[in-house]
Amino acid sequence: MIFLIQGDRFPHDVEQMTQMTWLKLNDSKLEQVPDELSRCANLEHLQMAHNQLTSVHGELSDLPRLRSVIVRDNNLKTAGIPTDIFRMKDLTIIDLSRNQLREVPTNMEYAKGAIVLNLSHNNIETIPNSVCANLIDLLFLDLSNNKLDMLPPQIRRLSMLQSLKLSNNPLNHFQLKQLPSMTSLSVLHMSNTNRTLDNIPPTLDDMHNLRDVDFSENSLPTVPEALFKLRNLRKLNLSGNRIEKLNMAEGDWEHLETLNMSHNRLTVLPDCLVKLTRLSRLYASNNELTFEGIPSGIGKLVQMTVLHLSYNRLELVPEGISRCVKLQKLKLDHNRLITLPEGIHLLPDLKTLDLHENENLVVPPKPNDARKKLAFYNIDFSLEHQVQ
């Protein structure tokens, strides 16, 4: 049985439902765990997120079949978490995020069946060696938004880990040397973690599964060389660095779908960018791009749905943008635009066109025969088509 309960009272009828296995008490204004909860001995999944709990002692210990405990966004401190729940053999999902923890709860190393551990948005300063040494079945680990300066070397034992989120921690003494041993890793988020070219591994050749990488807000002067060799990368965020040039070569990032290079120092986007035929989202706002810095062949990015070029130095944009026929959102605000390609009016899916703060801009009138001209902008310019 599954129940979703709202309000600050525990309904009397639910107390009698001893076979209940799933209970949600989210957004219920709870300040303490209801005493009646201890009667639900068959409960396997418990959610008490977005409340005002300061302690979950007592009642949770009486629920021996618990498989998931989700108590994020409360007022829990470490002393308010019972240490015996981590010895429950079926416990697989632990979410204690957005609380007031200053350290990892005692006995967490005994939760050896855990596959999801979320301790993000707390005030944790250290991770015990025993946690990484024993929780070797973890698939998802989120330690972001804490005060961690170091991670234990035993983190290399998490060879099954698929998602590792460490953003917004100092991590001044974490060199990432253990990273290449995590060959199952698909998601790596390390925004604002004091990354430099010296504390990112020079090669990530064995990390074939990496698909989502975030190294934003790290003041990197260039793109780390190891990132170019990630063949299966789908999403890359390098915004908020000091990158002046994107030194990619033809063949790099063939499967990339989202690229965020906003808030850097780019003056040019490389011509080979147009070879990324799967690219659907490109964010390059807050750079120093001019008309000459936008590839003339940008119209080849036919999968593009979102293009952000705000806060640059653009006076014109290439006519090829009009051939990105799937474009839905185009941001060109805060530039120096004088005019736009007439074909902008012919983009069939365009829902958002942001042009504000271009004081000298004169928008060309919308063509009268839009259908006829749209056929021109949908021409296949490939070599194969031209040969035919």
The 10s digit of each residue's pLDDT in 202-240 is 888 888 999 999 999 998 999 999 999 899 999 999 999
What is the Cα–Cα distance from 329 to 351, expressed in whole angstroms? 6
Local confidence band at 374 (pLDDT 50, 70, 90 cut-offs): very low
Looking at residue 374, the DSSP 8-state letter turns out to be H
pLDDT for res 386:
39
pLDDT at position 375 over 80: no
Neighbours of 172 (CB within 10 A): 11
Contacts of 369 (CB under 8 A, 6+ apart): none
The fraction of the chain above a pLDDT of 90, given in percent, is 70
Local confidence band at 13 (pLDDT 50, 70, 90 cut-offs): low
Local confidence band at 368 (pLDDT 50, 70, 90 cut-offs): low
Please spell the DSSP secondary structure of 247-290, one letter per residue. ---TTTTTT--EEE--SS--S---GGGGG-TT--EEE--SS---
> pLDDT tens for residues 231-256?
999 999 999 999 999 999 988 999 99
Closest-CA residue to 349 (of 297, 282, 303):
303
Closest-CA residue to 194 (of 176, 170, 178):
170
pLDDT at position 120 over 80: yes
Q: Residues 58, 38: contact at Cβ < 8 Å?
A: yes
Looking at residue 178, the DSSP 8-state letter turns out to be T
What is the Cα–Cα distance from 237 to 243, expressed in whole angstroms? 12
Domain spanning 255-388, CATH class: alpha beta
Q: What are phi and psi of 226, to 5 degrees?
A: -60, -30
pLDDT for res 371:
47
pLDDT for res 351:
94
SS3 call for 235: strand
Q: In the structure encoding, which two tokens stand for residue 248, read together? A: 């990619």
End-to-end Cα spacing for the chain = 63
Q: What number is the average pLDDT over the span 27-53?
A: 85
Local confidence band at 9 (pLDDT 50, 70, 90 cut-offs): low
Q: What number is the average pLDDT over the span 123-145?
A: 96
pLDDT at position 184 over 90: yes
Closest-CA residue to 46 (of 78, 14, 12):
14
Q: Residues 239, 261: contact at Cβ < 8 Å?
A: yes
pLDDT at position 366 over 80: no
What is the Cα–Cα distance from 348 to 120, expressed in whole angstroms? 42
What is the Cα–Cα distance from 305 to 355, expressed in whole angstroms? 17
Computed over every residue of the chain, the mean pLDDT equals: 88
C-alpha R_g of the chain: 26
pLDDT for res 379:
41
Looking at residue 44, the DSSP 8-state letter turns out to be -
Local confidence band at 326 (pLDDT 50, 70, 90 cut-offs): very high
Instruction: Give the CB-side neighbour count of residue 220, counting CA atoms within 13 A.
Output: 30
Tell me the pTM. Answer: 0.89
387 or 273, higher pLDDT: 273
